[in-house]
Structure formats: C-alpha cells, structure tokens
Amino acid sequence: MSGRLQDKVAIITGAASGQGAMETKIFLQEGAKVIATDIQNDLLTKKDAELRKEFGDNLLSITSDVTSEDAWVNIVKQAVDKFGKIDILVNNAGIGTTDKTSGLTDSTVEDWYRYMNTNAMAHFLGMKHVVPYMKKNGQGAIIDISSLASVQGIAGASPYTASKGASRAFTKGAARDLGKYHIRVNSVLPGWIVTPMMQQFTLNKEKLDALIKGIPLGYLGNPEDVAYAVVFLASDEARFINGAELVVDGGQSVRG
Ligand SMILES: NC(=O)c1ccc[n+]([C@@H]2O[C@H](COP(=O)([O-])OP(=O)(O)OC[C@H]3O[C@@H](n4cnc5c(N)ncnc54)[C@H](O)[C@@H]3O)[C@@H](O)[C@H]2O)c1
C-alpha cells in the first residue's frame, strides 16, 4: 500500500522531541524518507535507534543547529547525497517560553535575538539552502511551524510572540516568491500542544486548568494533532494550498 508521502524526501528540524519527533515517525509511516535534525545529540541518537528498527535506511539523522548556515549546507548535501532530491522542508525547531524568562522588560537584547534567530531566521536559512534543490526537482512543499501566539500574543512572552509573527509573515512572502516554481509554502499555527516545551504549564494544575478553559474542545492538543496537519500540507492532497495558515488549536482562537 502506498503512503500519503510515498517516496518523498523530507527534512524535519527539531526532530528529537515533541511535534518534530512525531512528524518524523508519521512521515516515515506515510512512506517518506526523512532527514531528521536536532541540536540535542543524545535524544536524536536515541530516537534514531528506535525508528531505524522499523524504517531502516529511510531515516538519516543529523545533529545540527538550525541557526548555523554551515549546518544547513551540510544537511542539504547529505540529504541529496543519500536520497537524490528534497521534496519537503518542515521548519519545526523552536525555543519556547519555558526556555528562559521571556517577558518584555526582563528580556535582554540577546534573548530577543535568540528567539528571532531560532524561531524565524532559521526558517529563512532552511529555505535559502533547500529551495535550489526543490527548483531542480520542479516542485516542493515547505511548512513553517509558527504559533497561535503570532495572532493572539502570549502574555509574558513578547520576544517569542514576535519571532513567531516574523515566521508567519516570512511564509507569506516566500509563498509569493516560490509559487512560480511549484513550491508551496504554508504555516501551521499550533495552539497549546502537550510537549516538553509546555511542561511549565502542564505540570501545574492551576495553569493547566486555566489553559483548558479557553479551548472549546476542552483539552490540549497532542503532537499527532499537529503532525497530521503537517502531513496534509506536505502531501499532494494540498497541491493548491499556498501561503495559508492552518490553525490547530481546538477552537481556542474562535470568538463567539
Ligand atoms: N507546544 C506548544 O504548545 C506549541 C505551540 C505553538 C507553537 N509551537 C512550536 O512548535 C514547534 C515544536 O515545538 P514542541 O512543542 O515540539 O517543543 P519541543 O521543545 O518538544 O521541541 C523543539 C525541538 O527543537 C529543537 N531545537 C531548539 N533549538 C534548536 C536549534 N537551534 N537547532 C536545532 N534544533 C533546535 C529542540 O532541541 C527540540 O527537540 C516549535 O517551533 C514551537 O515554538 C509549540
């Protein structure tokens, strides 16, 4: 049986944890070949060993930092050397509000650039290096993981919010630039999803209850909920969808 991403070659960043790890697994299940990258070497190596048992050589894991241009040159070279082409890029790696205090007046200029570099500039670097191969291939699909924060903001996390807004706007510009090459660029805007990034909220009952109250479905999302949205946008099922934002938030952003 053929998968929804059969024989497509995908680069997924932030693949050692949370949503990226789930996307890697489901992409492999759907028949893709995956280049899984993350800055956390030990966790990535562990995930690689687990998945390799089932998916063997369809997985290539590369420890790397998305903010390093040299790292992107290496990722793209290894991807093309091993699999011959690149069809999909998932710009998923990110740092969240648990990473460090990230409020407006207590953040430093260094904090600001850390968020902007990891959550937005890295999307530019990924595209810059992957797109030439997608052009050669005659098509491609890029999915940028932004956040519902880019629409609503998160109190106490202004630099994070700004970085996700930059990513969301960059997606739009890139969609306009790349459409003529049959390369589609779309955003996914997750709401509250249970991953290690969210632990400061999910491990605190009071904070968790407050979050759930704002979600019409009455529960937080799981990595699969986002991963299947990404699969859809990456697949040919979404062939006329370009420059869109797919909100995955249980209805949190709906206003009555
Ligand atoms: N969890 C949520 O509620 C939520 C909501 C909205 C958006 N998001 C976004 O979803 C994406 C995935 O986050 P998650 O929830 O799975 O969190 P997570 O912390 O489980 O995963 C993020 C991964 O990114 C990796 N990473 C961080 N900096 C990196 C770098 N410089 N280079 C390479 N890898 C790096 C981390 O090592 C980690 O494995 C992020 O972009 C995040 O901002 C998450």
- Ligand 1 pocket residues where CB is under 6 Å: 13-14, 16-20, 38-40, 65-67, 92-96, 118, 145, 147, 190, 192-193, 195-198
User: Radius of gyration (Cα) for the chain, nearest Å?
Assistant: 17
- The domain containing residue 172 runs over which residues? 9-248
Let me know if 133 is a catalytic residue: no
Residues 6+ apart with CB under 8 A from 82: 35, 60
Asked if pLDDT for residue 207 goes beyond 60, the answer is yes
Residue 13 Cα to ligand 1 middle (Å): 9
pTM exceeding the 0.95 threshold for the entire prediction: yes
Nearest CA to ligand 1 atom 14: 18
Joined tokens for residue 165: 């807004």
What is the rounded CA–CA span in Å between residue 155 and residue 57?
Answer: 44
Residue 94 Cα to ligand 1 middle (Å): 4
Number of domains the chain contains: 1
Residue 92 Cα to ligand 1 middle (Å): 6
Longest distance between any two alpha carbons in the chain, whole Å: 55
Joined tokens for residue 244: 């869109």
Is residue 256 in some structural domain?
A: no
**Opening angle at CA 96, ends 114 and 198, nearest 5:** 165
Q: Which of 121-125, 202-206, 227-231 has the lowest mean pLDDT?
A: 202-206
Position 101 scores a pLDDT of 59
Residue 80 Cα to ligand 1 middle (Å): 25
Is residue 254 in some structural domain?
A: no
Q: Which of ligand 1's atoms lies nearest the C-alpha of 223? A: 16
Q: Report helix, strand or coil for 31.
A: coil
Average confidence (pLDDT) over 231-239: 98
Asked if pLDDT for residue 187 goes beyond 80, the answer is yes
CATH code assigned at 102 = 3.40.50.720
Is residue 255 in some structural domain?
A: no
Is residue 1 in some structural domain?
A: no
From the list 113, 160, 219, 228, the catalytic residue is 160
The tens digit of pLDDT for each residue in 133-181 reads 999 999 999 999 999 999 999 888 999 999 999 999 999 999 999 999 9
Average confidence (pLDDT) over 233-245: 98
Is residue 137 in some structural domain?
A: yes
DSSP line for 109-160: HHHHHHHHIIIIIHHHHHHHHHHHHHHHHT-EEEEEE--THHHH--TT-HHH
Query: What is the per-residue burial (b if ≥16 Cβ within 10 Å, else e) of 163-175?
Result: bbbbbbebbbebb
Is residue 47 in some structural domain?
A: yes
Is residue 2 in some structural domain?
A: no
102, 148, 195, best to mutate for ligand 1 pocket (most atoms within 8 Å of CB): 195
Nearest CA to ligand 1 atom 40: 94
Residue 1 Cα to ligand 1 middle (Å): 32
Strand residues in the chain grouped as ranges (E): 9-13, 33-38, 59-63, 88-91, 140-145, 183-190, 245-248
The tens digit of pLDDT for each residue in 107-139 reads 899 999 999 999 999 999 999 999 999 999 999
The tens digit of pLDDT for each residue in 46-99 reads 999 999 999 999 999 999 999 999 999 999 999 999 999 999 999 999 999 755
| Percent of all residues in the chain with a pLDDT value above 90, rounded to a whole number | 89
Is residue 154 in some structural domain?
A: yes
